[in-house]
Amino acid sequence: MPSPQSSRRILTAAVCLVVVLAGPSGCASSASEGGERGEGGTLTVLAASSLTDAFGELEKRFEDQNPGVEVRQSFESSSTLLTQIQQGAPADVFASASEDEMDAAVEEGLTGEEPVVFVKNREVVMVPKDNPAGIEDLREIAKPGVKLVLAEEGVPAADYALEILARAEEEYGEGFENDVLSNVVSREADVRASVNRVVVGDADATFGYASDYTPDVRDRVEVVPIPPDLNIIATYPVATLEDAREPDLARRWVDLVTGEEGQRVLERWGFEPAA
C-alpha cells in the first residue's frame, strides 16, 4: 500500500499531466476572453478610404485606452470592403462612406448590432494649386481638354459625383454631364487615389470629399466648392460585424467614433456631425 507521501506525489504528477495536456486549449480560451475584457486582442476595422486620417488618429487613442490591444485597419473603397466581407474576410467593424453598402451588409446578415450613422461629408472639386485648366467653378470642368479623374464606378465618391452632374445638367443645360464625362482620363480604385492624381499633377480636377483636403496636401491642391443646391451630403454608417472575433472591442470602437471624443477628432479632419 502506498505511503501518504507517495500518494501525494502521484496526485501531484497527475494534476501536472492534466495541465500540460490541457494547456494549449486552456491558454487559447484565456487569450480570447482576455481580448474581450480589454486585456489584449486585435481589433480589425474595415473603413472607407476617406476615413484614413481620422481613424488613424482614433486608432492611437483606442490603443492608449485599451492597453495590450492592437488595432489593424484596412482603408479602401466601401464597395471593395463590402465584397471582402461577403467573401469572409476576418473583420470586427465596417465603416462605410455610403448607406448603400451598409444596407447590403445588413440584408445579407453580415452585421452584428444595428448600424449607426456617425458623420456626414460633402463633395468638392479638387484642382492642382497652379490650376492649369483654370477651373474656378463646377461649370468649368466641362471645358474641352480638361483632364478629369474619377474613382471607379460603384465607389461612393464617384456615384455621388454622377448624382451631382445629373443635378447640374438641369442647371447648366443639356449636354453638360456628357461634356464632363468625356473629359474623364482615368478611373481610380478609391477616392484617395483619385485625389492623389491631382496632388501629383497628373490631372486637372477630381471629385473628392471635404475631408480629403488634409494638411499634407493643402500646399499642392485647391478646393472648388460645389453649389449647395447641387451638392450631395454623404452619410457614413458604422457597424460591428456578425462574425467579429472581438465583439467587445468592436463595440468599444463604435462607442469611440460615435462619442464626444471621436466626433471632435472627425470634425477636425473635415467631417460634419451626423445630427
Bind-site residues for molybdate? 50, 78, 157, 191, 209
How many Cα atoms occupy the beta-carbon half-sphere of 256 within 13 Å? 24
For 36, phi then psi, to 5°, come to: -70, -30
| Residues that constitute the known binding site | 50, 78, 157, 191, 209
Q: Which of 74, 55, 211 is nearest to 82 (CA)?
A: 74
Q: What single string gives the DSSP state of each residue in 172-192? A: H-TTHHHHHHTTEEEEESSHH
Phi, psi of 147 (to 5 degrees): -95, 100
Cα radius of gyration rounded to whole Å, the chain: 25
